[in-house]
Structure 1
Amino acid sequence: MPPSDKAGLSYCGALLRRHDPDRYLTALFAPASARESLFALYAFNLEIARTREAVREPMMGRIRLQWWRDAVAEAAAGKPYRHEILEPLAEAIRERSLSPAWFERLIETREQDLEGAPPADMQALLAYAEGSSAALTWLALETLGGAAGRAPAAIEAGRKLGVAWALTGLLRAVPHHARQRQLHLPADLLARHEVRAEDLLELRQPPGLTSVVREIAEEAARQLEAARQAGRGLPRSMLPALLPGTLADLYLKRLERAGYDPYAPSVQTAPPGRVWRLTWRRMRGRF
């Protein structure tokens, strides 16, 4: 079992517990010496991921993301801004030698969010998933594994796991994104299954939607299996960075049982027994 999450939490830990409980749970399985670094890293990701919803104009979003870009650069230089997330993040960057390129990839991908255009095809969606999620997984692997987190096998496992997790999350978030008038489903898939973007944004559920969701869910499952193959033999110390794969598997199976309906209540609620499933997989050295 992970350590109790009822003890006093840092600002970053409390933020994650409230707004990103899945990543919060996986971070609890990290060694105590690395846990706060993961909390800070995931809290940073949470903040930049919320940029589009936090602003009304794309220009304001770009200004906000540039602030984070500058702040990360200052943190890496050992001169962090006084901020609840940036100070522990700066410590993580220095102590764990985290790669600046992955932070830049995360920020660049969130800048794409501000454009508001859905991905043209599956390849564009996969590129978005890699930029928004795999880059974060690579940073988590570095946090837990140091130089081993930059080994080719770790990079490949992180890429596939990050994409699988992002695709799963985007499917579960279809109703939320529609209410925000956002669309992350590939335009070519929508056209092939005769799903109009306007219907989705008006919270209508055209018959072809489940076919679109199914294709993406099946791709997520393939990516997850590839991640598991690539991750064989990685040090167990890095496993908490890959544990979102266990949760992705749970969510994808619930989505399948719901007939690939992203609006189904079972898809929109967290599955029971998440902690026990994570504990079991962690004990077996799997994700």
Structure 2
Amino acid sequence: MFSLAVSANNCAKTFNIPYPTFKQRPTEIKCSRALTTGQHNEQFCIDIVRKRDYEGFLCALLFPEAVRRSALALRAFNVELAQIKDSVSQKTIGLMRMQFWKSAVENIYRDNHPAQPISAELWRAVRKHTLTRRWMLRIISEREKDLEDKAYRNLQELEDYGENTQSSLLYLLLETLGVKNVHADHAASHIGKARRRKVYLPMDICMLHGASQEDFIRGSRDQNVRDVIYDIASQAHVHLQHARSFSENVPHAAMPAFLQTVVLEDYLQRVRKADFDVFHPSLQKRNPVLPLQLYLRSWRKIYSFV
């Protein structure tokens, strides 16, 4: 919805009304500068989430206006941590950046206002919603362990990774919505374990089907590679089903945090249509109707598929 307004400047020109002049006090100048900085920090988070986590960006836009800025700050924090592994050439540099974020979170909870845009937005979100520090630190610790670049031995290790990263993010998003509910927490746990569009490879499943990491690196579309994807996608579907089983007991206020299930289901359906070939061209494109699907689900205030 858009409202039309006549600018004060145009009115002044039309009726020849002179503008009054005001002298800003030092405190007013300081507040004006702070507002400008705050707007810059908010826009920084919007831009990084829109660029690096487009589906998460769409979901965040459907949060209530009062908490949308905090949701975008948390997603920007998650994106920033996720891209460290791929943006550094040496593990040592990655560890230094992880240490920066650990220190930043500790300073936020000491109420030290940080200068870095994402940190500043997190500080604002923590003050507004009393967010739990351990969820942030758990995301950092798990991302730090992932710098080792070790293969997951089994599906359980992969699910633990999802729990410690994506589920922790969902717990924080629920806190911005003011939701403290055991059913919502259980749903968030299962959604986090299911939520990964990037393919991570449990060694036991690869060995079961005679596939290797090299097969995925070179983009193999052989049946054994598809069988690996089938097993992983099937387990993700199981977690989505578990998440949906809590839908009747989850408060309506929690629904925006769980819109990610629409993204997950959309991707799993597209994988099935591609016969579990993750290198199929159709999977390299965004679904143009996804924004509409998210909006309709948000309007209906449901996250489960019926």
The TM-score bracket by the shorter chain reads 0.7 to 0.9
CA distances 1:13-40 after superposition (whole Å, capped 9, x unpaired): 1221122110110011111110000011
Return the match for 1:23 from 51, 56, 64.
56
| Partner SS for 2:149 | coil
Counterpart Cα distance in 1 of 2:227 and 2:207: 11
Paired position in structure 1 for 2:182: 152
Return the match for 1:170 from 185, 193, 198.
198
The question of whether the paired residues in 2 share the 8 Å contact of 1:156 and 1:227 is answered with yes
The question of whether the paired residues in 2 share the 8 Å contact of 1:71 and 1:80 is answered with no
- Amino acid paired to 1:38: A
| Partner SS for 2:275 | coil
Counterpart Cα distance in 1 of 2:218 and 2:281: 19
Counterpart Cα distance in 2 of 1:18 and 1:218: 29
What displacement does 1:206 show? 4.0
Counterpart Cα distance in 2 of 1:66 and 1:206: 41
The question of whether the paired residues in 2 share the 8 Å contact of 1:65 and 1:107 is answered with yes
Paired position in structure 2 for 1:252: 268
Return the match for 1:93 from 98, 119, 126.
126
Counterpart Cα distance in 1 of 2:49 and 2:174: 18
TM-score normalised per structure 2: 0.83
Paired position in structure 2 for 1:176: none
Return the match for 1:37 from 46, 57, 70.
70
- Amino acid paired to 2:185: I
- Amino acid paired to 1:18: K
Paired position in structure 2 for 1:240: 256
1:268 counterpart = 2:289: no
Counterpart Cα distance in 2 of 1:234 and 1:196: 41
| Partner SS for 2:198 | helix
The question of whether the paired residues in 1 share the 8 Å contact of 2:221 and 2:277 is answered with no
1:217 counterpart = 2:233: yes
Counterpart Cα distance in 1 of 2:65 and 2:76: 17
Distance 1:286 1:80, change over 3 A: same
What is the 5 A alignment of 1:28-107?
28-107=61-140
CA distances 1:212-234 after superposition (whole Å, capped 9, x unpaired): 00011011111111111123232
- Amino acid paired to 1:76: Y
Counterpart Cα distance in 1 of 2:201 and 2:57: 27
- Out of 233-242 and 273-282, give the one that drifted further: 233-242
- Amino acid paired to 1:210: R
Counterpart Cα distance in 2 of 1:84 and 1:104: 18
Counterpart Cα distance in 2 of 1:202 and 1:275: 32
Unaligned runs of 5+ in 2: 2-39
Count of residues in correspondence between the two structures? 264
Distance 1:60 1:132, change over 3 A: same
Paired position in structure 2 for 1:131: 164
User: What percentage of residue pairs aligned between the two structures are identical?
Assistant: 31
Paired position in structure 2 for 1:11: 44
Counterpart Cα distance in 2 of 1:142 and 1:94: 12
What displacement does 1:201 show? 2.8
| Partner SS for 1:78 | coil
